[in-house]
């Protein structure tokens, strides 16, 4: 698993932000949890031949088994 964190700042339309946060709350998730999941999936989908850390590919396998 990741050992460190880095901050990412994004700009988003306030209405989309509110809808996103409402949906996250309904699913008992934080917006950060959902965004991290989206980023992990994006990396897996678009990494091409790039070598990925084992913790990332293991987490993807575990997530796909639980769904």
Q: What is the pLDDT of residues 8-60, one digit of tens each?
A: 999 999 999 999 999 999 999 999 999 999 998 999 999 889 898 888 887 66
Q: φ, ψ for residue 53 (rounded to 5)?
A: -60, 145
Token output for 40: 């992990």
Cα 33 from chain centre: 6
pLDDT at 57: 80
CB 43 within 8 A of CB 56: yes
Q: What is the pLDDT of residue 54?
A: 85
pTM for the model stands at 0.75
Q: Give pLDDT, residue 59.
A: 65
Contact between 19 and 35 (Cβ < 8 Å)? no
* The pair of three-digit structure tokens given for residue 63, joined into one six-digit string: 């997530």
């Amino acid at each position: 698993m990741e050992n460190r964190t880095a901050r990412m700042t994004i700009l988003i339309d306030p209405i989309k932000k509110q809808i996103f946060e409402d949906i996250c709350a309904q699913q008992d998730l934080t917006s950060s949890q959902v965004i991290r999941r989206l980023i992990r999936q994006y990396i897996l989908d678009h990494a091409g031949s790039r070598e990925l850390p084992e913790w990332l590919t293991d987490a993807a396998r575990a997530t796909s088994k639980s769904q």
